Structure 1
Amino acid sequence: MLVLRPVELADLPQLQRLARESLVGVTSLPDDRERLREKILDSCASFDKDIAAHGPESYCFVLEDQTTRRLLGCSEILATAGFSEPFYSLRNRHFTSASRELNIEHDVPALSVCHDLSGHTLLRGLHVDATQVCSAHSELLSRARLLFIAAHARRFCDAVITEIVGYSSDEGHSPFWDAVGKHFFDLPYAEAERLCGLQSRTFLADLMPQYPIYVPMLPQEAQDCIGAIHPEGQEAFDILEREGFETNSYVDLFDGGPTLYARTSAIRSIAHSQRGVISSGPVIDARGRYLVSNDGLKDYRAIVADLDYTAGQPVTLDTTLCEALNVTTGCPIRLIAL
């Protein structure tokens, strides 16, 4: 049984292993013991807080095999991007240039550093073990965060964003970074991503040009990277696209990867998840597979379960499922079909 739960300090060694295995570009999961320790402590403090509105809190979750106690993935929610410092990205907009004398008018796409996305809830830090890629547990890692937001809506913003890792080669080469960022930092792409994970984006945005970067002046290889997705990021993109997230006019500072956006109230797992009450007993004639969570905070749990569920009726869970969710008969749960 694989269970998603809040991270604990005892998870530090395994979380660092996950960080070491994660894709270059997942800057919120640095392979640095002290930084990860701070992340865990920040997450634990956030779960402990009794708050009435969204703030700088971060909520980190891990996917644990209950038999082996091995961590097979992690994911995170930042309640308010840009709360403590601006959340920088690149705005990809068209500028119109015209000449009345020549009767010519055309649009030119340009990239500008901005912090327009500050004040949105940010999904980040997603990493899944290779054994769980394209499985129901990949969905659990990503979407259980949305069930958590549904259960604790006051802690989060009215809109949610996430950045999908952009294209880079197997050797860690990013054509977009080489054409844009590298001119202002004498750093390879992987090192710039590492420094951002250890510090913040502020150092990068401070040195980036404050004037537009005209896209047609970039090499074609770099232009092709704008909005492109790394192959290993495609599953994360597809899951959230099915949730109702859409691409917008913003891309990542480092690799040009796309940003996804959705109104919180319109996200599928939030808008359409059902609440039910547990009835303890054997699961007979399971007809569907569901993501199931309790509505807890510090004791939040989420699993994948095969159930015979009818809307408006008690949800029958056997002892194993109840123990995994840390619930008993009569407790409320939340569920949505996979």
Structure 2
Amino acid sequence: MLALRPVALTDLPQLQRLARESLVGVTSLPDDTERLRERILDSCASFDKDVQGHGPENYFFVLEDLSTRQLVGCSEILATAGFSEPFYSLRNRHFTSASRELNIEHGVPALSLCHDLSGHTLLRGFHIDAALVRTPFSELLSRARLLFIAAHSQRFAEAVITEIVGFSSDDGRSPFWDAVGKHFFDLPYAEAERLCGLESRTFLAELMPQYPIYVPMLPQAAQDCIGRIHPDGQEAFDILECEGFETNSYVDLFDGGPTLYARTANIRSIARSQTGMAKPGSSIDARGRYLVSNDALKDYRAIVAELDYNAGQTVVLSEDMCAALNVTEGSPIRLIAL
């Protein structure tokens, strides 16, 4: 059985393996021992905090195979993007110029550096082993974060965003970066992303052009990357799109990948999840597959389970399910159908 839980310091060696395997562009998962250690300790402190509003907290989750104790994925929630420093992105909107004398009005798409998205809750750090891609466990890894937000809504903002990794070639080249960012840093795309993960995106963002970049002046290959998803990022996009997230006019600073946005209260797993009480049982006449979580904080757990569930009734769970969720009879749980 696979279960999602908060990260622990003892996970560091395995987490570094996941970082090495993760897609270039997942900058919140740096392949660096000290940075990962800091990220873990920061997450542990966030789960321990008694907070009544969204601040700088960072909630890091891992997906563990309970039979082998191997980590097979990770994902993260940053309670407030841009809390300590601006959260930069590129706003993609039309710039309109007009001439009354010539009776001409013309709109040109332009990219402008901004930090409009600061203050929103940010989903990031999604990575799952290749063998589990397009399985229910991908949904567990992504959507269980939303069940956590539902259980602890006071800790998060009224809107949630996520950046989907943009297109890059098999050899790690990004046409968008080569056309824009590389002129200001003289760094390959992969190295810029690595530095962003080790330090912060702010010091790179502040060296980016402060004036609009007119899209038609970019090479066609770079224009084609604006809002384009890396093939390995498509699943992360699809899961959240089904949750009600939508693309907006913002793209990633470095690779031009799309940004997804949703009002927290409207997200499917938050708005439609059901709560009930656990009841241990010896046999279950399974009629559907569900994401199931407890409503704990630092002892948060979530699994995929085959259940016979009717709204308003206690939820019968097997002994293994109860153990994985760390619940006993009468414990509150939250669930939503897959």
In which range does the TM-score fall when normalised by the shorter chain? Answer: over 0.9
Structure 2 partner of 1:284: 284
Instruction: State the 1:104 CA deviation.
Output: 1.3
Instruction: State the 1:103 CA deviation.
Output: 1.5
Does 2:125 match 1:125? yes
Instruction: State the 1:279 CA deviation.
Output: 1.3
CA distance in 1, matches of 2:321, 2:11: 23
Asked if the contact 2:63–2:74 (Cα under 8 Å) also holds between the matched residues in 1, the reply is yes
CA distance in 2, matches of 1:283, 1:199: 51
Asked if the contact 1:75–1:141 (Cα under 8 Å) also holds between the matched residues in 2, the reply is yes
TM superposition score normalised by structure 1:
0.99
Asked if the contact 1:283–1:308 (Cα under 8 Å) also holds between the matched residues in 2, the reply is no
Asked if the contact 1:63–1:74 (Cα under 8 Å) also holds between the matched residues in 2, the reply is yes
CA distance in 2, matches of 1:178, 1:275: 49
Structure 2 partner of 1:183: 183
Structure 2 partner of 1:15: 15
Deviations 1:197-217 (A, max 9, x none): 001111111111100000000
Structure 2 partner of 1:307: 307
Structure 2 partner of 1:64: 64
Letter of the structure 1 residue corresponding to residue 84 of structure 2 = S
Structure 2 partner of 1:86: 86
Q: Point out where structure 2 has 5 or more consecutive residues left out of the alignment.
A: none
Alignment of 1:147-226 (within 5 A): 147-226=147-226
Deviations 1:33-63 (A, max 9, x none): 0000000000000000011111000000000
Task: Work out the number of aligned pairs and report it.
Answer: 338
Asked if the contact 2:284–2:317 (Cα under 8 Å) also holds between the matched residues in 1, the reply is no
Letter of the structure 1 residue corresponding to residue 39 of structure 2 = K
Q: Percent identity?
A: 83
CA distance in 2, matches of 1:284, 1:205: 54
CA RMSD across the alignment: 0.5
Does 2:37 match 1:37? yes
SS at match of 2:204: helix
CA distance in 1, matches of 2:140, 2:234: 16
CA distance in 2, matches of 1:283, 1:17: 38
Instruction: State the 1:282 CA deviation.
Output: 2.6
CA distance in 2, matches of 1:23, 1:321: 32
TM superposition score normalised by structure 2:
0.99
CA distance in 2, matches of 1:28, 1:3: 22
SS at match of 2:185: coil
Structure 2 partner of 1:254: 254
CA distance in 1, matches of 2:318, 2:202: 50
SS at match of 1:207: coil
Asked if the contact 1:283–1:307 (Cα under 8 Å) also holds between the matched residues in 2, the reply is no
Instruction: State the 1:101 CA deviation.
Output: 1.9
Structure 1 partner of 2:75: 75
Letter of the structure 1 residue corresponding to residue 207 of structure 2 = L
SS at match of 2:69: coil
Instruction: State the 1:117 CA deviation.
Output: 0.2
Asked if the contact 2:284–2:318 (Cα under 8 Å) also holds between the matched residues in 1, the reply is no
Instruction: State the 1:318 CA deviation.
Output: 1.0
Instruction: State the 1:99 CA deviation.
Output: 1.5
Letter of the structure 2 residue corresponding to residue 19 of structure 1 = A
SS at match of 1:168: coil
CA distance in 2, matches of 1:6, 1:57: 13
CA distance in 2, matches of 1:283, 1:111: 58
Which of 175-184 and 200-209 deviates more?
Answer: 200-209
Instruction: State the 1:284 CA deviation.
Output: 2.5
Structure 1 partner of 2:99: 99
Letter of the structure 2 residue corresponding to residue 285 of structure 1 = D
SS at match of 2:278: strand
Structure 2 partner of 1:263: 263
